[in-house]
Structure 1
Amino acid sequence: MTTTKQQNEKVWFVTGASKGLGADLVQRLLAEGYKVAATSRKKQSMVDLIGEHENFLPLTMDVTSNHDVKKAIDQVVDKFGSIDIVVNNAGYSQIGAIEELTDAEVKNNFNVNVFGPLNVIRNAAPYLRKQRAGHIFNIASIGGFVGDFAAFGIYCSTKFAMAGYTEALAVEMQPFGVHTTLVYPGYFRTTFLDKDSVMVPASPIEAYANAREVEAQHLKEINGNQPNDPKKAAEVFIELSKQETPPVHFFMGIDAAALVNSKVRTIELALANNLKLTESTAITE
């Protein structure tokens, strides 16, 4: 059946809500009267930050555990009666050149940034399909569209992966009236690049001077000077959730458009410069 609700009756489920974009979104949602379930590896950190509220359900959840995720989503439905808007926000940045990162470092980043959101989608989708309404926000990064940052190849690849499956998810969920939006944030002034949030390579290789330069730029220059306000991002999410036909792709941030346009020009030029060779593989009778 199709569920029709007033906007502020909708139940939001936000992962990675103990800080950053997730925490600001939860606080704004509660201030506007929404019902909100939010997750973190440490429930108390959210309670300390946000406090207790009748419309707030803080949950301890390991996004990499399908069992944990299923249990959390079932708790949301038990408390609020439904789940309407899912925000896959949990994630972290693994810095390091491709060669210098270990197998474990790479897999850990994929487990959280790629497979974690898939756990959420897998367990939320049955509820959304049944009610034939809902909205899934997958939070990627501008690095999920532009990947030419030395030392950020693995992190960007996790976000490219999310972009790929989100495009398919949007088509799969459309017949059920469920919207899907892939959000590519630029640089927001959060704790994302703080030393207790970002991961640096366990065994850096001295030869990668370019990787260390980009790493230092992000940790020492960009961190604390990001041009975008996370509180304004919270407003953007709410506005997108109100749209009748929200976009599948949404680039967010004052810095996003320039990076997107530069990538688009690069691809267009690469195609144009080799178009004859590109099309030379056609079968001719």
Structure 2
Amino acid sequence: MTTWFITGSSKGLGAAIARHALEQGDQVAATARDPQKVTDALGSDDGLLPLPLDVTESPQIQRAVAATVERFGRIDVVVNNAGRALLGVLEEMGDKQIRDQFDLNVFATIDVIRAVLPTLRAQRSGTIVNVSSAGGVVGFPASSMYNATKFAVEGLTAGLRHDLAPLGISVLAIEPGAFRTDFLESDTVWTPEDDGAIADYDGSPARETLAGIAPMNQTQEGDPAKLAALVFDVVTAGDPPTRLPIGPDAVAATEGRVASDAADLAPWRERSLDTSF
């Protein structure tokens, strides 16, 4: 029986992954700021441990990890799912908004990983799943800060794999495209205040992107249940890839990035090669 530790489990992809793991008979420590919302989303199950956790508070992370080990005896899979998106034009964003975005999407992920590593090292086994995004592969309008945090998660994942593989610990990043969750709700998306708007950006791709959020919400093509089943199968199969795009739009983003990088390199390739002493 596998034990999962999942952040941001009260809704969206976190809840979907937790639900699928429970349906397969696994044990799940499902965390959220309000654990009652976890119970509301997932119901009651002998294998479910709802835990209070604000991932930006390190002492709470330590307590949640300790409670999981006390209840289940081990942790096999860690899913760093908690996150939000700061969308808008960089110049209009406040310092606190930017730092809060990195605290939640990057530093909280790092803190969770550091908290679970003593347990995973002692076991000489485990899998860390970092929830990145198609926005961790390519840039999108109005998404510079969200892109920056997800690119950071990608780099963290790629580097950690080298450090943890000798200890029997796998690390992968999943890169979802647009899935039908609450991710675009007002409590999940941050935007700059209107009174700080700069007229030069009116009519820009960033403004068009922001205007399209409300119509897109709850119309996304991606099925969270299918994503959860895929993540479960990838984790339980063993030897996961470094990164896994999920959804047609995410696959297209990855394939487009590969082609774009090759096209960017081509005219400068020989000059780039000729830079040694």
Structure 1 and Structure 2 fold alike (TM over 0.5):
yes
Residues 107-144 of structure 1: CA distance to partner in whole angstroms, max 9, x if unpaired? Answer: 00000000011111001011111111111000000000
1:229 matched residue in structure 2:
223
**Which shows bigger deviation, 123-132 or 202-211?**
202-211
Tell me, yes or no, if structure 1 residue 201 matches structure 2 residue 192. yes
**Which shows bigger deviation, 127-136 or 255-264?**
255-264
Q: 1:99 aligns to what SS in structure 2?
A: helix
Mark the runs of 5 or more structure 2 residues left unpaired by the alignment: none
Percent of matched pairs sharing the same residue:
39
Code of the residue aligned with 2:179 in structure 1: it is F
1:13 matched residue in structure 2:
5
The offset of 1:204, in angstroms, is 2.9
Mark the runs of 5 or more structure 1 residues left unpaired by the alignment: 1-8
- Cα distance between partner residues in 2 of 1:29 and 1:244: 16
- Cα distance between partner residues in 2 of 1:122 and 1:280: 41
Code of the residue aligned with 1:158 in structure 2: it is T
Q: 2:49 aligns to what SS in structure 1?
A: strand
- Cα distance between partner residues in 2 of 1:214 and 1:136: 32
2:85 matched residue in structure 1:
93
Residues 194-225 of structure 1: CA distance to partner in whole angstroms, max 9, x if unpaired? Answer: 122211112332321321111112x1332222
Q: Please give the residue correspondences for 1:24-39 in structure 2 after superposition, counting only pairs within 5 Å.
A: 24-39=16-31
Tell me, yes or no, if structure 1 residue 239 matches structure 2 residue 233. yes
Code of the residue aligned with 1:207 in structure 2: it is D
1:277 matched residue in structure 2:
271
- Cα distance between partner residues in 2 of 1:272 and 1:49: 50
Structure 1 residues 204, 39: CA separation in 2 closer, same or farther (over 3 Å shift)? farther
CA contact (8 A) 1:96 1:204 kept: no
Tell me, yes or no, if structure 1 residue 102 matches structure 2 residue 94. yes
2:123 matched residue in structure 1:
131
**Which shows bigger deviation, 235-244 or 78-87?**
235-244
CA contact (8 A) 1:135 1:241 kept: yes
List structure 1 runs of 4+ shifted beyond 3 angstroms: none
2:66 matched residue in structure 1:
74
The offset of 1:175, in angstroms, is 0.4
Q: 1:194 aligns to what SS in structure 2?
A: coil
Code of the residue aligned with 2:200 in structure 1: it is A
CA contact (8 A) 2:38 2:50 kept: yes
Tell me, yes or no, if structure 1 residue 156 matches structure 2 residue 151. no
Q: 1:251 aligns to what SS in structure 2?
A: strand
RMSD over equivalenced CA pairs, Å: 1.2
CA contact (8 A) 1:227 1:255 kept: no
Tell me, yes or no, if structure 1 residue 83 matches structure 2 residue 75. yes
1:267 matched residue in structure 2:
261
State how many pairs are aligned. Answer: 273
Code of the residue aligned with 1:231 in structure 2: it is A
2:156 matched residue in structure 1:
165
CA contact (8 A) 1:63 1:120 kept: yes
Tell me, yes or no, if structure 1 residue 56 matches structure 2 residue 51. no
Q: 1:266 aligns to what SS in structure 2?
A: helix
- Cα distance between partner residues in 1 of 2:27 and 2:21: 8
Code of the residue aligned with 1:226 in structure 2: it is Q
Q: Please give the residue correspondences for 1:108-147 in structure 2 after superposition, counting only pairs within 5 Å.
A: 108-147=100-139
Q: 1:264 aligns to what SS in structure 2?
A: helix
Tell me, yes or no, if structure 1 residue 47 matches structure 2 residue 39. yes
The offset of 1:280, in angstroms, is 4.2
Code of the residue aligned with 1:172 in structure 2: it is D
CA contact (8 A) 2:4 2:27 kept: yes
Residues 149-184 of structure 1: CA distance to partner in whole angstroms, max 9, x if unpaired? Answer: 121000010000000011011111100111111111
The offset of 1:26, in angstroms, is 1.2
- Cα distance between partner residues in 1 of 2:94 and 2:214: 24
Q: 1:281 aligns to what SS in structure 2?
A: coil
TM-score relative to the length of structure 1: 0.93
- Cα distance between partner residues in 2 of 1:87 and 1:206: 41
